[in-house]
Amino acid sequence: MREPDGRQATSTAAGRPPVVSTSGDDLDDLRYGAYVTVGRDQAAPIAAGAGAAAVLGLGTWGWVEFGRDDAVVGFVLAVVMMIAAGVLLMATRYRTPRLGIQLNPTHAMVGNWPRRTYQFPRTAITRVTLSEHPWDGETRGAVPDHDFRRAGRHFVEIAVRSGEVFCVAVDNHNNPVHDHIMRELGLEQRATVEATVHDSPTRPAPTSDEKLWEAAQRTHDELLLAYLPYETEPMTVMRYPALSDITHPATARFHESLGEANALRTDTMPTDPAFAAAYRDAVRRLAVDWATAERSAKREGTSYLDPSDRRKLDLAAKLLRHAEGTAEPTERAAYLRQMKAIMDELVDTGALYAPPRIVAAIDAAATRAIEAAERYRAENPGHRDARDVPGSSDGGAVE
């Protein structure tokens, strides 16, 4: 069975929502994503890119010194340089593999981005279990195509109504995004039910200090989730850039309080009452500083920027809105290419600070859009895209 867009459905039993195998694109309307980087694959593209750049440099020198006067040498150098340029292009477009989970309001996606992922309705999930210990390398639990674990990492086991089971590596140490995804998938509720069934009826009730400490942890998680869009959503950063700029006093105080609260946080209730009290006080300060910083950033918007920088940032936001609103692959690529160029310029000149995850998100979105546009052009050779529109030398006009 194939989906309308050509993706392969891996389960076709009547009454069972299919698990759809995808090529590594993100979920539509993505709300949350938690990943573990496959670090061992990072060195190869870096080394290949560096080697290709060196070959290009030597080839250019060889062409200047020898190639212009010798046709054979020139031809050989041209071939070598073309191959090196291709390797360098592939290295720059390489996306580091990530194991993880994505959620939108209706669906979940698990797998290895950008290589192989699986998508299924959240209502199809029947069981979610978090491993007690990091994975030891044994292959039991999931078939190889559904196994996305990594040695030394905890993993979550997700079963769906089709009978398939997926095992996915997670980063569950002080990670509020992971915790939120687990709650969305129902892990916390299932764990509570199991605890009710299996725990001893004589288990003592939590003390007042334990209740206060747990409440502080919940508040801490809520604040981290509230701040998350300012580190991961480009449009939010474009509208309120001050919340990423620690030269603003309110933002600096928030980040100082955030660092203190994160440093004092522990996985279990501290045995030292003074240490627990220090954490609760740090979370209270963090809540106040967050409210102050967010209010200040929303009040200022982009007004504190130089007029020319403000116009550039407004244009970048408009380009992003156009990209999100078009279904035409080549137009989307043109808009995102222009938006990325503007954001790179603002960051490089120091006019704007963009968190690393924002830069990575913009780069990834532009790369995916360009690749989709290239596939579209290859499938539609007669198509006239935004770059061919008369009077549009920069990839399409924006009104």
Residue 192: give its domain's CATH number: 2.30.29
Strands 107-113 and 147-148 come out as unpaired
Per-residue confidence at 282, pLDDT binned at 50, 70, 90?
very high
What is the structure's pLDDT at 196?
41
What is the structure's pLDDT at 281?
95
Query: Are 286 and 230 part of one and the same domain?
Result: yes
Residue 202: Cβ within 10 Å count: 5
Q: How far is CA 140 from CA 133, 340, 343, in A?
A: 14, 44, 46
Q: What does the alpha-carbon distance between residue 322 and residue 330 come to, in Å, rounded to a whole number?
A: 12
What is the structure's pLDDT at 390?
36
Per-residue confidence at 291, pLDDT binned at 50, 70, 90?
very high
Whether residue 389 is predicted with pLDDT greater than 50 in this model: the reply is no
Q: Is residue 383 part of a domain?
A: yes
What is the structure's pLDDT at 7?
42
For residue 82, what are its two tokens?
A: 């073309």
Q: What does the alpha-carbon distance between residue 263 and residue 66 come to, in Å, rounded to a whole number?
A: 60
Query: Are 19 and 104 part of one and the same domain?
Result: yes
Handedness of CA 29, 34, 40, 42 (dihedral sign): positive
Q: Is residue 394 part of a domain?
A: no
Query: Are 268 and 147 part of one and the same domain?
Result: no
What is the structure's pLDDT at 311?
94
Query: Are 18 and 146 part of one and the same domain?
Result: yes
HSE value, Cβ hemisphere, 13 Å, CA-based, for 2: 4
pLDDT-wise least confident of 152-161, 218-227, 265-274: 152-161
Query: Are 184 and 258 part of one and the same domain?
Result: no
HSE value, Cβ hemisphere, 13 Å, CA-based, for 134: 7
For the chain, what is the domain count? 4
Instruction: For tokens 């808009």, name the residue.
Output: 335
Q: What is the mean pLDDT of residues 370-396?
A: 61
Q: What is the mean pLDDT of residues 69-73?
A: 69
Give residues with Cβ within 8 angstroms of 218, minimum separation 6: none
Q: Is residue 142 part of a domain?
A: yes
HSE value, Cβ hemisphere, 13 Å, CA-based, for 239: 13
What is the structure's pLDDT at 180?
76
Q: Is residue 203 part of a domain?
A: no
pLDDT-wise least confident of 64-68, 130-134, 180-184, 329-333: 64-68
Beta strands in the chain (DSSP E): 8-9, 20-22, 32-37, 98-103, 107-113, 116-121, 125-130, 147-148, 155-160, 165-169
Residue 112: Cβ within 10 Å count: 19
Domain boundary among 256, 285, 300: 300
Instruction: For tokens 């995804």, name the residue.
Output: 181
Q: What does the alpha-carbon distance between residue 215 and residue 295 come to, in Å, rounded to a whole number?
A: 24
Query: Are 131 and 144 part of one and the same domain?
Result: yes
For residue 254, what are its two tokens?
A: 């928030």
Query: Are 216 and 248 part of one and the same domain?
Result: yes
Per-residue confidence at 22, pLDDT binned at 50, 70, 90?
low
Tell me which residue range forms the domain holding 218. Answer: 208-300
Q: Is residue 152 part of a domain?
A: yes
Q: Is residue 395 part of a domain?
A: no
Q: Is residue 2 part of a domain?
A: no
Question: Which one has a higher pLDDT value, 93 or 220?
Answer: 220
Phi-psi map region of 392: left, alpha, beta (phi>0 left; psi -120 to 50 alpha): beta
Query: Are 291 and 381 part of one and the same domain?
Result: no
Burial class (CB in 10 A: 0-12, 13-18, 19+), 65: exposed
Q: Is residue 112 part of a domain?
A: yes
Domain boundary among 300, 334, 364: 300
Question: Which one has a higher pLDDT value, 388 or 379?
Answer: 379
Query: Are 106 and 158 part of one and the same domain?
Result: yes
Mean pLDDT over each residue of the chain, to the nearest integer: 76
Query: Are 52 and 123 part of one and the same domain?
Result: no
Query: Are 24 and 162 part of one and the same domain?
Result: yes
Domain boundary among 197, 218, 234: 197
Whether residue 104 is predicted with pLDDT greater than 60 in this model: the reply is yes
Q: What is the mean pLDDT of residues 161-188?
A: 75
Question: Which one has a higher pLDDT value, 186 or 8?
Answer: 186
Q: How far is CA 164 from CA 87, 151, 154, 157, 235, in A?
A: 38, 22, 20, 10, 37
Query: Are 108 and 192 part of one and the same domain?
Result: yes
